[in-house]
């Protein structure tokens, strides 16, 4: 198979991403999921879709508009059409699911009502609430054709208003002030009924809509319809030599707020005259996606729906667990790392351990310096607090702050300023490359020798997301890894320098090369009739070279397992191409975020954790770090976790050519919901018998495949 015909066996990444979001929507539609969690899945779906249009569809739109050849231009136009078709289908499914979830909530006596469903007592309460809390925050605009159209912010919710006044039709615009007011307001229940009642902000406004205009017009009728615009999120960075990077990013963020629209989502009940007026005034181009929907938009706010009702309406808590390596050594956390590598697995282990690591380093007299790379941090970041504490304790502290972490740019500008004001040496990374690595390097003076304590992870230093994302962190005293990490940080500071890395695979220098070499090694082993296998766990698998090599490996007889949460361009199970590849996706209460690569290596398996997905941008255009896990106990733990996930037959879907997202029917005589089973495994250190039997079958199949290949050769 040549590179030129790879596209025949590759799913466009944008369509694969929509298939991933369909899996999220499946969880919202699943009546076995607790009702409040179903509502929150709707919020996740909506938030995902917003980002999809802001980033991925915007990229395709630019390619459709500016491609140099007619053939290429038509290709991207066709892809845009497929994206819009699939997105509209998902929007309809979302609307159906939303109504079903409302019904499920009603059965639990939780009501989400509109302005037409209020009793007289509720009418009085909502009217008073509107005048007391809501009206002071509203700044309506009367739209005049002779005046410029007001700025419509990306992702914000608006009410387009149609007014009848003195026989004349007027149009107005109201921005929902959700940055100052909650989206959901609890109001009293009807007399004689039990339960909790909520009304959304826009329905409070609709209830008192004529009052918004404060009697300026003699209004005979008023109707309001929601809409929102999703804009291109690409930052346009100027090339001014004397302009600081912070200023460049800040100016680009201002441009983003009024960038080209990629999607216009509106209430399908909106009158045609109002819709035509808006689309004309907003200058929606021919590639923009007009998407009719339900009455409510920005369903991402459902992620923050109040925790109400009995405990069974939410997921049963899985409390954080102790880490075996940290319990075996008396003393501080640095003493434990010095004795043995430590593997953290969030959210099963607490992120507080990282805070403890930084706080210990901050006050340890022997610690000389702390280096860290920050991509995304929490709004109230204890990581930043610990770094400032270290500086107050006279440590040398350096923070690499990625100012172009998409949608966190403003927050990171603020953190960079706060760190700088606190005396921390702040570096803004490498021109043209995002710094996406998850590094901490602590330098400590021990017996007159500088020693390294290194953290390498798959997730961000963010307390909030560590509670809902699964991720690995490796803490090690391995000095070779420490030297490599120091060289990575030196490259970030002085990007004209090139280093030889002995342990780490580093983008953009050696990550691709190292992964390609290991896939080719498995191919060679298979061709020599030796056992060969690869397990990949990632968020996205779309890099053309990697996909092509995996197809070649399958043809050579390499057994390949893929656990991919999001985009997967590779198509498993095609005879003569990928029959030795299986791929699944797991969607459950936690977002599966680790990147783990396992290579059989002739019976001496290599295990890696990485900040990099198998995407061209991660391998070639970012600073990413892939680290080996060497400790036999930690390698076993990773393998056990991967095997449990592979046996998931409750929350996993098969990835196939049709992107059907069929629930996986993995027959192992037990129900395995991997995220919950892993919690039990980490308590007992015992793999369920059913998973052990499945692992045994896998190993036998690997041997059988090897013998079959040997006979053919």
Kindly list the catalytic residues: 436
Q: In Å, how far from its chain's centre is CA 303?
A: 14
Whole-angstrom Cα distance, residue 372 to residue 361? 12
Please spell the DSSP secondary structure of 42-71, one letter per residue: HHHHHHHHHHHIIIIIHHHHHHHHH-SSHH
- DSSP secondary structure code for residue 132 in this structure: I
- Count other Cβ atoms within 10 Å, centred on residue 10: 18
* E strand or H helix at 398: strand 396-401
CA angle 632, 634, 640 (to 5 degrees): 105
Run of H or E including 639 = helix 632-646
3-state secondary structure of 405: coil
Kindly state the tokens that stand for 3.
């590179």
Q: Residue 80 CB: number of other CB atoms within 10 A?
A: 20
C-alpha distances (whole Å) from 680 to each of 48, 318, 345, 673, 685 are: 30, 10, 13, 11, 8
Query: How far, in Å, CA of 25 to CA of 284, rounded?
Result: 28
Q: How many CA atoms lie within 13 A of 633 on its CB side?
A: 11
CA distance 185 to 113: 11
Tokens 């498993």, located at residue: 572
Contact residues for 230 (Cβ-Cβ < 8 A; gap 6+): 50, 53, 54, 154, 155, 261, 262, 263, 265
What are 475's strand-pairing partners?
342, 455
Q: Determine the 3-state secondary structure of 240 from DSSP.
A: coil
Q: What is the dihedral of CA 267, 271, 277, 281, to 10 degrees?
A: 0
- Beta-carbon contacts of residue 541 (< 8 Å; ≥ 6 apart): 547, 562, 564, 567, 568, 569, 570, 613, 614, 615
Alpha helices (H) along 271-422: 272-281, 324-327, 333-339, 352-363, 382-392, 409-421
Encoded tokens for 169: 């039709």
Q: What's the full length of the chain, in residues?
A: 713
From 440, 404, 397, select the one nearest 421 (Cα to Cα): 397
Q: What are phi and psi of 286, to 5 degrees?
A: -70, -20
Instruction: Determine the 3-state secondary structure of 23 from DSSP.
Output: helix
**Residues 342, 474: contact at Cβ < 8 Å?**
yes
Q: What share of the chain is helix, strand, coil (3-state, %, to 5)?
A: 45, 20, 35
């Amino acid at each position: 198979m040549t590179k030129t015909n790879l596209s025949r066996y590759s799913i466009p990444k944008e369509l694969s991403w929509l298939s991933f979001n369909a899996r999220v929507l499946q969880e919202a539609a699943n009546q076995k999921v607790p009702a409040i969690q179903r509502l929150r899945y709707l919020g996740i779906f909506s938030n995902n879709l917003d980002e999809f249009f802001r980033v991925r569809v915007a990229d395709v739109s630019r390619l459709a508009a500016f491609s140099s050849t007619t053939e290429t231009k038509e290709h991207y136009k066709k892809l845009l059409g497929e994206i819009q078709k699939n997105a509209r289908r998902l929007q309809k499914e979302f609307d159906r699911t939303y109504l079903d979830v409302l019904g499920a909530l009603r059965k639990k006596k939780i009501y989400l009502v509109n302005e037409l469903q209020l009793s007289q007592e509720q009418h009085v309460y909502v009217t008073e609430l509107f005048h007391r809390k809501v009206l002071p925050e509203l700044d309506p605009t009367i739209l005049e054709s002779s005046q410029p159209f007001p700025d419509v912010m990306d992702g914000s919710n608006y009410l387009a208003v149609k007014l009848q006044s003195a026989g004349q039709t007027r149009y107005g615009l109201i921005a929902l002030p959700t940055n100052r007011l909650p989206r959901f307001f609890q109001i009293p229940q009807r007399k004689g009924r039990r339960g909790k009642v909520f009304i959304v902000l826009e329905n409070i406004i609709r209830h008192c809509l004529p009052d918004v205009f404060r009697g300026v017009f003699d209004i005979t009728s008023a109707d309001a319809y929601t809409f929102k615009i999703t804009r291109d999120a690409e930052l346009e960075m100027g090339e001014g030599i004397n302009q600081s990077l912070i200023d460049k990013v800040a100016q680009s963020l201002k441009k983003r707020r009024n960038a080209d629209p990629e999607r216009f989502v509106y209430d399908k009940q909106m009158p045609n005259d109002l819709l035509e007026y808006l689309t004309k005034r907003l200058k929606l181009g021919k590639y923009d996606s007009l998407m009719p929907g339900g009455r409510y938009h920005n369903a991402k706010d459902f992620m923050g729906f109040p925790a109400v009702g009995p405990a069974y309406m939410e997921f049963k808590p899985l409390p954080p667990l102790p880490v075996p390596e940290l319990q075996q050594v008396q003393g501080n956390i640095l003493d434990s790392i010095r004795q043995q590598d430590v593997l953290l697995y969030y959210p099963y282990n607490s992120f507080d351990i990282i805070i403890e690591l930084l706080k210990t380093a901050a006050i340890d007299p022997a610690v000389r310096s702390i280096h860290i790379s920050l991509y995304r941090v929490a709004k109230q970041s204890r990581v930043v607090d610990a770094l400032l504490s270290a500086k107050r304790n006279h440590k040398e502290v350096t923070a690499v702050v990625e100012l172009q972490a998409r949608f966190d740019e403003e927050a990171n500008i603020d953190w960079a300023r706060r760190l700088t004001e606190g005396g921390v040496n702040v570096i803004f990374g490498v021109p043209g490359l995002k710094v996406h690595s998850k590094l901490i390097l602590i330098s400590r003076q021990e017996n007159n020798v500088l020693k390294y304590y290194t953290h390498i992870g798959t997730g961000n230093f963010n307390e909030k997301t560590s509670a809902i994302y699964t991720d690995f962190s490796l803490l090690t005293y391995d000095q070779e890894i420490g030297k490599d990490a120091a060289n990575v940080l030196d490259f970030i500071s002085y990007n004209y320098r090139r280093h030889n890395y002995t342990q780490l695979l580093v983008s953009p220098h050696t990550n691709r090369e190292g992964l390609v070499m290991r896939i080719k090694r498995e191919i060679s082993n298979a061709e020599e009739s030796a056992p060969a296998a690869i397990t990949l766990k990632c968020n996205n698998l779309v890099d053309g070279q990697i996909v092509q090599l995996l197809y070649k490996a399958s043809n050579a007889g390499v057994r390949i397992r893929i656990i991919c949460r999001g985009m997967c361009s590779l198509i498993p199970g095609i005879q003569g191409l990928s029959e030795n590849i299986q791929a699944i996706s797991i969607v459950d209460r936690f977002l599966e975020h680790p990147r783990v690569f396992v290579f059989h290596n002739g019976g001496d398996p290599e295990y890696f954790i990485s900040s990099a997905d198998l995407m061209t941008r991660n391998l070639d255009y970012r600073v990413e770090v892939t680290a080996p896990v060497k400790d036999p106990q930690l390698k076993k733990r990773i393998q056990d976790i991967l095997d449990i996930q592979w046996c998931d037959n409750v929350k996993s879907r098969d990835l196939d050519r049709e992107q059907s997202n069929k629930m996986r029917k993995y027959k192992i005589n037990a129900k395995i919901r991997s995220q919950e089973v892993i919690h039990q495994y980490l308590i007992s250190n015992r793999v369920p018998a059913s998973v052990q039997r499945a692992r045994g079958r896998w190993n036998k199949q690997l041997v059988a495949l090897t013998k079959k290949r040997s006979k053919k050769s």
